[in-house]
Structure 1
Amino acid sequence: MSLSPNTSLYALNKKRLRAERTPPSLKIEGLRLTVESVPFDLTLTKGEILTAFGTTPFVLSTFLEQLAGFAPLIDGKIFLHDEDVSSLPLGKRKIGLINQHTPLFPHMNVHENIAFAFQATGQNKSEAFDAANRMLSLVGLDGHGHAHTKSLSSEETLRTLLARALACSPKLLLIDDPYFSLPLHTTRQFTSLLIKLSRALDLTIVQTTSHREDALRAGGKIAFFNHEALLQHDTAAVLYDRPAAIEIATIFGEANALTGQILGIGDDIASIQLACGGVVEAFVSSERLHKGDECIVCIRPDQISPFFGSRPLNFDEDTSSPVNGVLIESIHLGDHIKMRVRTPDGTEIDLHRPPIQSQQIPSNGSSVQLAWMAGNATAFPP
């Protein structure tokens, strides 16, 4: 049977083939942030929001400045829609950059600041005036056109800078730590605005942050930087469940890091004797780990199950045994209960439980046994 143009399968295949032919919006090849750093590659599709996350804000800023052309490119190539822009001056790259040093013109009101950007693209005064009005509405600044820049809140200033950057119709928009000076409720509003703009304008956006919650809120992929090194680029779920490095597990996933020795490995799952007591299982992250090797077991607090009381746990396999300890702290944090357990050797382990269990938690000093599913923990080389 032949497929007609009206057949749904035909339409799906046509859409898929068209997507495959579409070049990536941003492609980075062999980029080095410093002379000593390891080069990395990165690819973004059109309309995607990428959050560059790391604990060194200066490095994240350098990353954006190299993309925009404000900082010299040490090594590598940058492609926008298959065009190599690596050697182009910043004014020719069609890349917009917003950072803490981007000023608004103090002698102009909000509307005039935005209209000036449109005039810089070649529009006459009348066209720029009308375009600025439309842009005010697009970024949620209706009624603020005549406001003086000094009277604006942090979020309103950021929205004005955003409007001015969008006036140049960038192919790529870079925003350096946009949530730095915003209170929580406006942070959520601005994130929602970026998501709407990326979809409405099919705009690729790269933003930076040193706060995990801000990275998660955007909903897109996350590039985890440890100093100048890009360790992993993937969805939040993958960074949580299959971190590529200890730093990702402990910083992004807030995992406990426990020292142990591998007793055996089978089907990528290792049996591990922990230094703090107990024999546990964990996913093996590296082919460099073998029987007898020391390792670091990373397990997130929300993946640990506590069992209170003196009755020993019975496991299906004789090779595993729980981690024993004493409850030393219990804090209700609204959406979860944070508990801290101290093992006989002094190791402290954090775990989170649902608030519904608040009435079931014994007092500090109670004995507790800790256990978790093998696939929820990851073993790394030390």
Structure 2
Amino acid sequence: MPRLPRWIAADLTAKLRSPEAAAVVAGLEGKLTERRRDYKVQSGAFRGVRVLVYRGFVTDNVAKVRVRVFETPELPGDSRIPYWEVAQSNLRRHAALSIVGAQVELRVGRHRATEVTDAHGFANFSLPVPKLRTGWHPAEAVVAGIGDEPTVGAGLVIKPSLTAPFLVISDIDDTILLTGLTEGLTMVARTLLRDVEQRSAIPGMSALYRGLARGVPGRTGKPRPEPAFFYVSTGSWSFYSMLDQFVELRDFPSGPMFLTDWGPTERYLRRSGAEHKRAAVRRLFKAYPSMRFVLVGDSGQRDPLIYEEMARAFPGRVALALIRQVGSEADERNNQLRKHAELLQAEGIPLHLVLDARQAAQLAANLGLCDQETVMQVGTDLHDS
């Protein structure tokens, strides 16, 4: 079969990747989803509506909250096949029917705003919340006009303390949650065949994060305000509930999550995981311009490069960047990263490749970001794991 000339192929590729093409595909997908819903409602197969309010955050007195509206998931039946129910539940997270064009009212305290869900069932809010105090606040989303009664979803929104010594941005996969992204089929098996209670935390990381949250006393001996935690991952929003439960079960500090939508949107036919992370981290740096950040990631993906870019783009605002080593010390990737980290440290960029949570805790303690009790607790966790 004859091949297209290179310039024609390049032009065609550019057009297919353009926002205009993405908008067309997203629009078609939205219409197909609406037809699927209408058919299920007319046939009596529609199971009702669920409203999920993702943890949000407040910046410049505006609450940034994402809500999703979708069909109530069908629970798997009993099966004698090992792991079958777990696999069904995990797969159905991705197959949930989105509710397109639903009107959603978000309520945070006495503040209200209304948005309409997009082709994937998401509604994104920027709700002014003047005079909201620091800390966590309940958020409620109400969807009416679908079914006999309004459907309500509940969530939380955090307003970080700007007097905290720093904020924390953490990767998820292979930074706090063992996924094995570099292990191919092993990662797929962990994702599909294990429920949240069976998912393993990276040893010592929970104790490290609790120590960072606790911090060190101020000059007066009183505890400083706790830093807010933000979690960034290339994983799908479909796994949000599982990841949020994992954070709670494994005793990590709660925080908003920045996940991604694997389907086409009005701007992109296909998402770049690295670009998603870069944009999310940059967004937080811009959202809190007076704050310094502790960044935590792993060597298995693009975290080192993204964190270096942030340190250069926002000089002096990275208090510490911790990169957990994935794989052996002998791996060429880790060898190169270790040498590069040493060059960055000589420049004044505090990016460190660490073997485990103990090394990470000691580095943080040396910089006054956590106490020596944290180092001991991390050591105990590593010994017990």
- The TM-score, its normalising length taken from structure 1, stands at 0.26
Q: Which has the larger radius of gyration?
A: 1
Answer 1 or 2: higher relative contact order, Cα 8 Å, separation at least 6. Answer: 2
- The TM-score, its normalising length taken from structure 2, stands at 0.25
